[in-house]
Chain A
């Protein structure tokens, strides 16, 4: 059961539907411009320019948002041991299957989300989640997937898939999952 993936996919569908309807979508793949705020004492900070909105890629043969969402929904969540970002046999098997989806659909770009269980600080878990997402991204890259098709986001312990407070819940929450980009 991967209820969170389905939720993520549904959310992604909604985002893409909005984007298709002409709403501006934040370009998550573009690094923000150099910051220009001025937090020195006595000076009012000036706003950094917001990230320019760019429409989703519309190259010929591109996947529709619904197709991308369906493909990502079929990708397997990867689980991790406590305080670890190493990929065990089960994780590698799941990622091999996911890599096939990415290879077979060259126009599919994804966000790799790193997640943690609730133990430890927000800040440490944020770094741990990034490690997990990066480990997955690197595994895909080693399997021949272009780096440009993947971005990582760490949610640390902020987005548990199981709200419980026991070993079973924590095991489900130490994970990397995927959303279409």
Chain B
């Protein structure tokens, strides 16, 4: 991450430059690297509700959804107009407001972003959708605010797939990135594991024992929830991940008697073996270019993260700084790899550059596992028992304490953050 000796000044300078550069599509634009720059200070005014009682009730909820979306993007510090005391002393640079109109089963949000102190309008946008989907409108407005001010969309409209443990069974679930709208995608009382998304967000690949013949790779669309078998070869069929172009996938098979990595076409056919070692090779993930893979192997005696070319050549160990590493995930920005390390008391999360340098611990305390990047590469979602029960947590990677996702008291683990999903079109 870049060092920013005077982030506030720099941000101000960039802001001024951006305002002066009239050719810019957005008038105000601030370049932010995750965690490194000072957060923008934004005030959320309550939406003005128009319509019946439903409008007033959902409008109050929508206020909080927007404020939470902005607060959870590592870009802002948020002041809620309806709870100013919580952010006393914060002098906002921007303010949001909007009109929330409910007509029958339709909701219309006209959101506005203004710059302070002059109150010049920076962004006005109108969204319309089904009342049942009202959260999507608010998430889209939050993402558009982030896009307007940073040049890159937020991730409030994305979703997180995860596994819920119910007794001895594990089911696949999905929820919005803020933890709301959670629902089960499987209910077959089997073992579902290791979900991952297709690069277009339309499908979820996962491992399941539902076929009765050990762990197999299955795929389903979150909208129709019908699972299809992708690979049911003898032995292991696990840890499937689609390539960034969606044309192939990498997974672990043991059909040749040992856990090795294979590349299959997207239908699960034409297996090509990528590793050939008597040790365990598993948990592969792609670099965002699709040219390299990171994976776990115990060929050195303990589990370690290795890299190789996507055709299987040029295998090298990622880092020698840590003695036990597992469960890699490559940032969509390409610049960091997050992985798990074993400690005396549990498991920590580290990141390092793809050349193995710059290893730094980003999450400690308890058992922290299965890290997965957000689609903008600014955050990592992971499993942790840091408060006593397995649950899902998100770190901003800046040393601030991770926050817990509310999974309704369910034991949640193995998260997978979706790519950016098609949003609500503005009118």
Q: Are A154 and B213 in contact (CB under 8 A)?
A: no
- B198 interface residue, CB < 8 Å from A? yes
* Complex interface: chain A residues within 8 A of B5 (CB): none
Q: Which of B176-207 contact A (CB under 8 A)?
A: 191, 193-194, 198-200, 202-203, 205, 207
Question: What's the least CB distance linking B69 to chain A, in Å?
Answer: 27
Q: Which of A73-100 contact B (CB under 8 A)?
A: 83
Q: Are A39 and B213 in contact (CB under 8 A)?
A: no
- B287 interface residue, CB < 8 Å from A? no
Most buried by B among A41, A83, A155: A41
Q: Are B202 and A127 in contact (CB under 8 A)?
A: no
* Complex interface: chain A residues within 8 A of B224 (CB): 44
Once bound together, how far apart are the Cα atoms of A173 and B238, in whole Å? 21
Secondary structure dominating the interface of A: loop
- A60 interface residue, CB < 8 Å from B? no
* Complex interface: chain A residues within 8 A of B235 (CB): 130, 134, 152, 154
Closest to A47 in B: B228
- B313 interface residue, CB < 8 Å from A? no
Q: Are B228 and A37 in contact (CB under 8 A)?
A: yes
Given contacts A35-B267, A134-B254, contact A126 B229 (CB under 8 A): no
Given contacts A37-B268, A45-B221, contact A131 B280 (CB under 8 A): yes
- A42 interface residue, CB < 8 Å from B? yes
* Complex interface: chain A residues within 8 A of B168 (CB): 158-159
- A122 interface residue, CB < 8 Å from B? yes
* Complex interface: chain A residues within 8 A of B234 (CB): 31, 151
- B269 interface residue, CB < 8 Å from A? yes
Given contacts A37-B228, A40-B247, A83-B298, contact A126 B238 (CB under 8 A): yes
Given contacts A45-B219, A48-B228, A51-B213, contact A39 B198 (CB under 8 A): yes
* Complex interface: chain A residues within 8 A of B254 (CB): 127, 130, 134
With beta carbons under 8 angstroms apart, the residue of B232, B252, B258 that contacts A32 is: B232
Closest to B302 in A: A83
With beta carbons under 8 angstroms apart, the residue of B247, B268, B269, B326 that contacts A121 is: B326
* Complex interface: chain A residues within 8 A of B203 (CB): 39, 45
Closest to A138 in B: B257
Question: What's the least CB distance linking A53 to chain B, in Å?
Answer: 10
0/1 interface trace, chain A 107-141, chain B, CB 8 Å (1 if under): 00000000000011111101110110010000000
Q: Are B369 and A46 in contact (CB under 8 A)?
A: no
Q: Are B259 and A131 in contact (CB under 8 A)?
A: yes
- A38 interface residue, CB < 8 Å from B? yes
Closest to B236 in A: A130
Closest to A15 in B: B212
* Complex interface: chain A residues within 8 A of B200 (CB): 41-42
Q: Are A123 and B212 in contact (CB under 8 A)?
A: no
* Complex interface: chain A residues within 8 A of B232 (CB): 31-32, 35, 48, 51
0/1 interface trace, chain A 139-174, chain B, CB 8 Å (1 if under): 000000000000111110011000000000000000
Q: Are B215 and A154 in contact (CB under 8 A)?
A: yes
Closest to B163 in A: A122
- B170 interface residue, CB < 8 Å from A? yes
Q: Are A124 and B296 in contact (CB under 8 A)?
A: yes
Q: Which of B225-264 contact A (CB under 8 A)?
A: 226, 228-236, 238-239, 242, 246-247, 249, 252, 254, 257-259
- B327 interface residue, CB < 8 Å from A? yes
Given contacts A40-B266, A121-B283, contact A28 B213 (CB under 8 A): yes
Most buried by B among A127, A130, A153: A127
- A26 interface residue, CB < 8 Å from B? yes
Given contacts A42-B202, A45-B203, contact A35 B231 (CB under 8 A): yes
Most buried by B among A28, A36, A45, A134: A45
Once bound together, how far apart are the Cα atoms of A26 and B7, in whole Å? 62
- A34 interface residue, CB < 8 Å from B? yes
Question: What's the least CB distance linking A106 to chain B, in Å?
Answer: 22
Closest to B369 in A: A121
- B340 interface residue, CB < 8 Å from A? yes
Q: Are B298 and A40 in contact (CB under 8 A)?
A: no
Q: Which of B306-363 contact A (CB under 8 A)?
A: 326-327, 340, 342
- B140 interface residue, CB < 8 Å from A? no
Q: Are B259 and A127 in contact (CB under 8 A)?
A: yes
Q: Are A123 and B238 in contact (CB under 8 A)?
A: yes
Q: Which of B148-194 contact A (CB under 8 A)?
A: 168, 170, 191, 193-194
Once bound together, how far apart are the Cα atoms of A165 and B327, in whole Å? 22
Q: Are B212 and A127 in contact (CB under 8 A)?
A: no
Question: What's the least CB distance linking A50 to chain B, in Å?
Answer: 8
* Complex interface: chain B residues within 8 A of A37 (CB): 219, 228-230, 267-268
Most buried by B among A39, A119, A151: A39
Q: Are A28 and B212 in contact (CB under 8 A)?
A: yes
Q: Are A128 and B280 in contact (CB under 8 A)?
A: yes
Interchain residue pairs with CB less than 8 A apart (21):
A26-B212, A31-B234, A32-B216, A32-B232, A35-B229, A37-B229, A38-B267, A39-B246, A40-B267, A42-B202, A48-B232, A51-B232, A124-B282, A126-B236, A127-B259, A128-B280, A130-B259, A131-B258, A131-B280, A134-B235, A151-B234
Q: Which 8 A-B pairs have the closest CB atoms?
A: A32-B232, A35-B268, A37-B228, A127-B259, A26-B212, A48-B229, A153-B214, A127-B280
19 extra interchain contacts, Cβ-Cβ under 8 A, other than A38-B267, A124-B280?
A: A26-B211, A34-B268, A35-B231, A37-B219, A39-B228, A39-B242, A39-B267, A42-B202, A45-B219, A48-B230, A122-B370, A123-B252, A126-B207, A127-B281, A128-B280, A130-B236, A134-B235, A134-B257, A158-B168
